[in-house]
Structure 1
Amino acid sequence: MKVLLAGGGHGHINVLKNLIKNPVDADFTLVTDFKRQYYSGMLPGFIEGIYTEDEISFNVPDLCKRAGVKYVEDKILSIDQDAKKLYSENAVYDYDIISINLGSLSNIIFPIESDHVCLVKPISEVVKAKEELDQYFKAHGQSGRLIFIGGGASGVELALAFRAAYKDVDIEIITAHDILENFNDRAKRKLEKILKDKNIFIRKNERVEKIKDQMVFTDKGTYDFTQAFITTGFRGPDVKFENFHTTDKNYLWVSDSLLAGDDALVMGDTATLRAYPDLNKAGVFAIREAPILYTNLIKAIENKRCFETYTPQTKYLQIINCGDKKAAANYGGLAFYGRIMWNLKDKIDRKYMEV
């Protein structure tokens, strides 16, 4: 049986981890154009200098080799469900069962004409931008401005991480609404105070209209920058899904068993659950989906159709790395802050990275 793993996302990392421990009698192939799979939960710590690049990423070719999975480094262009074929830049792959775990991309909602803008998805772009900024500030001193467009958890956490890395650089957040709209009021107030204390300026209710050269143009003003980061939401991957049902942002509709068809499983940001169409594209949900994807993939290989189902948790812990080994947490109506929360996050993250 030919089993195709499209993408090297965290769901497929979990599949590889399980195959290393418990080999399965099937012909597995993984296709991706990213050799490293970065863990977003540890990205702020990498930016701050706490973790190395190796510590925050999985070596996908090495994991495939250990798991007995054929590794193919190629860009996926389209997947045809009816024909059961995956088309890449260099080849065509047939499959009996496919698992899709391709993540998401940054959603561009205004024109960008600049070489100094970083889209935060894929994460490799942030890693590259950090390396370039290190070189720039080493040569020019910490004179410059970093602008983060978008006031969600991603924008706030990245702004705090870069503040920890660069103590004297001007840092601003521009958001069309309020910051952290999915957080409770206590956590939001605490994080606003932390941002203010760390000299990170927030421009609320200001809509970006375009970015040109090294200037951000909004409906209220114009601001120069050294580097801008786009955290204004996400969209599906640049892959044509033929004979699948997709949303207007190119996410794949899936059942609560993570099925997009009889022989196609999908999880993570690439998937939108029919029963929960408004569910946030947050890592906490993908982590819970991963073991269900693996279980149901094995059931499909064994032709057992008693699939497990996934029900998103109504309350979930969100931890924001605030720099200097302190973190803030949002859980239901509760809020926490301090070194204990960072230590908890560090323990969870390091455990997750174990193979």
Structure 2
Amino acid sequence: MKKLVLAGGGHAQLSVLHALAQYPGELKTILVTPSRYQMYSGMLPGWMAGHYTLEECRIDLLPLADKAGVEVKLMRLTGIIAAQQRVHLSDGSQLEYDLLSLDVGSEINTARLQAAGERLLPVKPLETFVQQWPHICEAAAQRDGYRLVIVGGGAAGVELAFAAHHAFRARGLKAEVALVASAEGLLPGHANGVRNRVLTLLQQRGITFHKATALGEEGGLYLSTGAHLATDSIIAATGARPASWLAQTDLMRDEQGYVLVDAQHRSVSHPNVLAAGDACIRTDVRLPRSGVHAVFAGPVLAHNLLADLGGRTLQRYCPRRKSLYLLATGPQHAIASWGAFSAQGHWVWRWKNWIDRRFMRKHGVLAKGTN
């Protein structure tokens, strides 16, 4: 009997679990993930802002695995020896595999912010962030003038800033929110119209914007503009980096440490290892690091894993030329970004909400509200 190991429970792996539930052949499959829940990143800002409950935003992997006949080990991966077809787990044990599906996500690069110490909270891993965000709200409620700074000018940083501001205002808290974007600026890769909409809303909401590189220091941040920001808490939504343990694997990686994969999402050095999401990088096309591609690559990953087992033809994942981004801005309002097109309004939020809830229903999470 062939053995398939699913390393990580990311967005793409959900499609694999659904496909395995329909797989007629004999196959021993083990899912290794540190948590039974997968937090859907697309709804994280809505949860922070108070529009969703935690149960509405996370997917329980155990029922999906049970339906697919997949054994679950709730622990972290600590290494891969691809030449021996073996993975190492956090409890010291090892698993052998015939086929490996890698979807372990990425980490937040906080190297420049570490000196801020306990004030620093990276947005990943999501399970840790979800545990800590209520504590920030509690601390902000203890005194007026609480200062929160979000570092990172990408889509995640923008949405977190708007969500935090709305959460504070909804609770009647007199807390300050600031957003710091590096020299790359605000929302790199998006059209000027989108950036202008965001800048206007930041100003209207009273969220201070700094275009500068931030360096953590005791008590807050030092900016490349020469300014010092005193902070009570810093949320890091800075650039992603691959999981640190990947540096010890024998899989071929790029200069940043991401696993190199081809158009079929197979490792270019070990074709019995397939990867999707933030753990890998394509050799033929440059993909933005976005959950959009992890979700869309999922069905291709699932097909190719089972096609490999059955000796069938593998599929290419062909990303769309333009991806749709719906950026939540706090009070059930959102901005749409699609190439050069942009729009905003409460209707965009309703559109985003419908897409997100449809995604969650597909994976067994039933909506409790109609926001």
Q: TM-score range by the shorter chain?
A: over 0.9
Give, as a single letter, the amino acid of the residue that structure 2 aligns with 1:63: L
Is 2:140–2:175's contact at 8 Å kept on the other side of the alignment? no
Equivalent of 2:196 in 189, 202, 208:
189
> Unpaired runs of 5+ in structure 1?
none
Q: Please give the secondary structure, in 1, of the residue aligned with 2:255.
A: coil
Alpha-carbon displacement from aligned partner over 1:1-58 (angstroms, at most 9, x marks no partner): 1000001111112212333355652100001112221111000110011111111111
**Residue 369 of structure 2: aligned partner:** none
Give the counterpart letter for 2:120 in structure 1: V
Q: Determine whether 1:292 maps to 2:332.
A: no
What TM-score, normalized to structure 1? 0.95
Note if contact 2:113-2:120 (Cα within 8 Å) is conserved in structure 1. Answer: no
Aligned-pair distance for 1:265? Answer: 0.5
From 229, 238, 241, the equivalent of 1:232 is 238
Aligned with residue 118 of structure 1, among 91, 116, 121: 121
- Deviation at residue 78 of structure 1 after TM alignment: 0.6
Alignment of 1:207-218 (within 5 A): 207-212=213-218, 214-218=219-223
Post-superposition CA distance 1:135-154 (Å, at most 9, x none): 2234x145301101111111
Contact 1:142 1:166 (C-alpha < 8 Å) held by counterparts: no
Shift of the alpha carbon at 1:89?
2.1
Q: Is the 8 A contact 2:11 2:291 kept in 1?
A: no
Q: Does 1:258 align with 2:265?
A: yes
- Identity among equivalent pairs (%): 25
Deviates further, 52-61 or 97-106? 52-61
C-alpha distance in structure 1 between counterparts of 2:178 and 2:137, whole Å:
18
Between Structure 1 and Structure 2, the one with more helix by share is: 2
Secondary structure of the residue aligned to 2:83 is coil
User: Is residue 35–residue 61 contact of structure 1 (8 Å, CA) maintained in 2?
Assistant: yes
Which sections of structure 2, spanning at least 5 residues, go unmatched? Answer: 364-371
Consecutive aligned runs of 4 or more in structure 1 exceeding 3 Å deviation: 20-24
Provide the rounded CA distance (Å) in 2 between the counterparts of 1:249 and 1:2.
30
| Aligned AA (2:291) | G
Provide the alpha-carbon RMSD of the alignment.
Answer: 1.5
| Residues paired across the two proteins, number | 350
- Residue 243 of structure 1 and its aligned partner are, at CA, apart by 2.2
Question: Deviations 1:210-234 (Å, cap 9, x if unpaired)?
Answer: 332x311223121111210111210
2:131 pairs, out of 109, 128, 131, with 128
Whether the 8 Å CA contact 2:12–2:296 is kept in 1: the answer is no
Deviations 1:206-260 (A, max 9, x none): 2223332x31122312111121011121011122352211123221000000000
**Aligned counterpart, 2:148:** 146
Counterpart-to-counterpart distance in 2, 1:242 and 1:65? 30
- Give the equivalent residue in structure 1 for 2:282: 273
Measure, in 2, the Cα distance between the counterparts of 1:15 and 1:24. Answer: 15
SS of 1:165's equivalent? Answer: helix
